[in-house]
């Protein structure tokens, strides 16, 4: 597959600007799977890749990118500033968890004992989960398909070595363990049909193993599927976009900035529902002040204001990434792509968006609004939800009535003395 004369491999060589705990590299590092730009492989292809039988032992020192080794003092400050807003995400998350301010009716299961064994067929097991095969790799660990002996369902399990996470320095005062624990805390808060669900966390203090048990999404990556050459077609793209916007509106309403919206992090179930995954670079804010400095996301999905080294607003940057994703789904290529990382940033900041002649005028208006260089003039997700192209025959994207919102409304009605029967929040 080639995009504007560039192969996916050539795009990947640009690297990822701080993505998944990597430094803003000055040296060339061996890239990890899923940190590539434009690595739009379907889960189906991942499932057919050669399976490595060694489940936990492999570690590549070349991949252990040290924050301090490759960055100047000013760059360290920039990256530290992203990871530590005025009030750190971890502190906010811990406060919400300790005060039951989470958006779940039933909390994520926490297990503090790991039993690693084999079943009668010689398959490796972790507690009640039977290993089937590796389905992917992240920055800090691998993702393996397991089947539960309790309910017979499949689950995607992220497996980590705690000792490995503690050795990886991602900021002057933080290790990769900080990133993983923040991801866990964020996912413990969330419950939405368009967000990958965290089922269980397995952390035995007597072992080096740490597991995140996630719902298994068996479908393809958003970037691939049926449709005309180079894109998915308007109908499929509209359906996917509605799910993406619904999930992201929910995140933003809970003051969560995803930070890396792109097709690789958008999975489609067998029934065609899109789910947002990978919260490894996400941040949480105490209020509406979502100001950040350094963007950790993937360069071709980076908003113009993030390329300038200035402060920016995370929610607006997420919205830009939605626009790039829609452009990819419609046209099968990136809107801004250069020969180098700097050239790509220059195009993002300076070039006008190219759209083919004859494109649907409503779609053209939507893309131009999402990919507006000025974040103050960019469409908001609320505007996207009621945009005529998005509405189509389905109507505006409905606002999801989440668990914590229902609780707040019910508590208010009780305090106001207005409860006379069952509460119908929806």
Q: Indicate the CATH number for domain 41-215.
A: 3.30.200.20
pTM of the model: 0.74
What pLDDT score does 286 carry?
A: 74
What pLDDT score does 107 carry?
A: 84
Q: Which of 243, 260, 264, 290 is catalytic?
A: 260
Summarize pLDDT for 386-423 with one digit per residue, the tens. 999 999 888 888 877 766 665 555 555 555 556 544 44
> Rounded to the nearest 5°, which phi and psi values hold at 107?
-70, 160
Read off the pLDDT band of 318 (50, 70, 90).
Answer: very high
Chain mean position to CA 384: 20
Summarize pLDDT for 185-194 with one digit per residue, the tens. 899 888 999 9
What pLDDT score does 390 carry?
A: 96
Q: What's the mean per-residue pLDDT of the chain?
A: 75
Average pLDDT over residues 344-364: 94
Read off the pLDDT band of 268 (50, 70, 90).
Answer: very high
What pLDDT score does 335 carry?
A: 94
**Percentage of residues of the chain with pLDDT beyond 70:** 66
Q: Which two tokens stand for residue 77?
A: 């400050």
Among 40-54, 214-228, 318-332, where is mean pLDDT lowest? 40-54
Residue with the two structure tokens 């409905």: 398
What pLDDT score does 398 carry?
A: 82
Q: Is the pLDDT of residue 252 over 60?
A: yes
Q: Is the pLDDT of residue 68 over 90?
A: no
Taking CA 165 as the corner, what is the angle to CA 207 and CA 91, rounded to the nearest 5 degrees? 100
**Percentage of residues of the chain with pLDDT beyond 90:** 45
Domains 41-215 and 234-391 share a fold: no
Provide CB contacts within 8 A for 88, sequence distance 6+: none
Among 69-73, 83-87, 366-370, 415-419, where is mean pLDDT lowest? 69-73
| 260 noted as active-site residue | yes
What pLDDT score does 224 carry?
A: 55
What pLDDT score does 152 carry?
A: 95
Residue scoring higher pLDDT (43 or 230): 230
Q: Which two tokens stand for residue 282?
A: 């996400």
- For the chain, domain boundaries: 41-215, 234-391
What pLDDT score does 402 carry?
A: 67
Q: Is the pLDDT of residue 124 over 90?
A: yes
Read off the pLDDT band of 317 (50, 70, 90).
Answer: very high
Read off the pLDDT band of 284 (50, 70, 90).
Answer: confident
Q: Is the pLDDT of residue 299 over 60?
A: yes
What pLDDT score does 160 carry?
A: 93
What pLDDT score does 34 carry?
A: 34
Q: Is the pLDDT of residue 202 over 80?
A: yes
Instruction: Compute how many other C-beta atoms are within 10 angstroms of the C-beta atom of residue 403.
Output: 15
Read off the pLDDT band of 232 (50, 70, 90).
Answer: confident
Taking CA 170 as the corner, what is the angle to CA 33 and CA 221, rounded to the nearest 5 degrees? 25
Read off the pLDDT band of 94 (50, 70, 90).
Answer: low
Q: Assign 3-class secondary structure to the chain.
A: CEECCEEHHHHHCCCCCCHHHCCCCCCCCCCCCCCCCCCCCCHHHHHHCCCCCCCCCCCCHHHCCCHHHHCCHHHHHHHHHHHCCCCCHHHHHHHHHHCCCCCCCCCCEEECCCCEEECCCCCEEECCEEEEEEEEECCCCEEEEEEECCCCCEEEEEEEEHHHHHHCEEECCEEHHHHHHHHHHHHHHCCCCCECCEEEEEECCCCCEEEEEEECCCCCECCCCCCCCCCCCHHHHHHHHHHHHHHHHHHHHCCEECCCCCHHHEEECCCCCEEECCCCCCEECCCCCCEECCCCCCHHHCCHHHHHCCCEEHHHHHHHHHHHHHHHHHHCCCCCCCCCHHHHHHHHHHCCCCCCCCCCHHHHHHHHHHCCCCCCCCCCHHHHHCCHHHHCCCCCCCCCCCHHHHHHHHHHHHHCCCCCCCCCCC
Among 95-99, 178-182, 262-266, 394-398, where is mean pLDDT lowest? 95-99
Average pLDDT over residues 3-21: 34
Among 87-91, 129-133, 345-349, where is mean pLDDT lowest? 87-91
Is 158 assigned a ligand-binding role in the annotation?
Answer: yes
Choosing among 1.10.510.10, 3.40.50.1000, 1.10.240.10, 1.10.3720.10, the CATH entry for 234-391 is 1.10.510.10
d(CA 36, CA 8): 9
């Amino acid at each position: 597959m080639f995009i504007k004369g560039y192969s996916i491999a050539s795009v990947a060589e640009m690297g990822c600007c701080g993505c998944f705990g990597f430094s803003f590299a000055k040296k060339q590092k061996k890239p990890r799977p899923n940190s590539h730009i434009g690595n739009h492989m379907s889960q189906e292809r991942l499932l057919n890749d050669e399976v490595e039988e060694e489940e936990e032992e492999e570690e590549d020192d070349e991949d252990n990118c040290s924050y301090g080794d490759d960055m100047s003092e000013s760059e360290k400050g920039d990256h530290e500033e992203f990871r530590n807003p005025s009030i750190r995400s971890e502190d906010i998350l811990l406060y919400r968890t300790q005060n039951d301010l989470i958006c779940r009716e039933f909390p994520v299961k926490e297990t503090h004992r790991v039993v690693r064994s084999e079943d009668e067929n010689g398959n490796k097991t972790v507690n009640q989960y039977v290993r089937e095969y590796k389905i992917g790799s992240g920055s800090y660990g691998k993702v393996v398909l397991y089947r539960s002996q309790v309910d017979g369902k499949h689950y995607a399990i992220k497996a980590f070595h705690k000792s490995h996470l503690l050795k990886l320095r991602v900021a002057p005062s933080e290790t990769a363990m900080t990133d993983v624990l923040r991801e866990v805390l964020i996912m413990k808060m969330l419950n939405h049909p368009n967000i990958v669900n965290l089922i269980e966390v397995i952390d035995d203090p007597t072992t080096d193993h740490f597991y995140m048990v996630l719902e298994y999404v068996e479908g393809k990556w958003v970037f691939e599927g049926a449709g005309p050459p180079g894109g998915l077609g308007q109908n499929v793209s509209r359906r996917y976009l509605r799910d993406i916007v619904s999930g992201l509106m929910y995140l933003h309403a809970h003051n969560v900035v995803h930070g890396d919206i792109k097709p690789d992090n958008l999975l489609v179930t067998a029934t065609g529902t899109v789910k947002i995954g990978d919260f490894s670079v996400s941040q949480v804010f105490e209020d509406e002040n979502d100001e950040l400095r350094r963007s950790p996301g993937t360069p071709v999905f980076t908003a113009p204001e993030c390329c300038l080294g200035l402060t920016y607003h995370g929610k607006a940057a997420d919205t830009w990434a939605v626009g790039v994703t829609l452009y990819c789904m419609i046209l099968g290529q990136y809107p801004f792509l250069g020969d180098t990382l700097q050239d790509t940033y220059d195009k993002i900041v300076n070039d006008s968006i190219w759209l083919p002649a004859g494109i649907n005028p409503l779609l053209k208006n939507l893309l131009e609004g999402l990919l507006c260089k000025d974040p103050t003039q960019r469409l908001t997700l609320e505007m996207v939800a009621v945009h005529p192209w998005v509405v189509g025959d389905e109507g505006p994207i409905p606002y999801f009535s989440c668990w914590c919102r229902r609780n707040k409304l019910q508590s208010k009605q009780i305090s106001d003395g207005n409860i006379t029967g069952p509460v119908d929040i929806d």
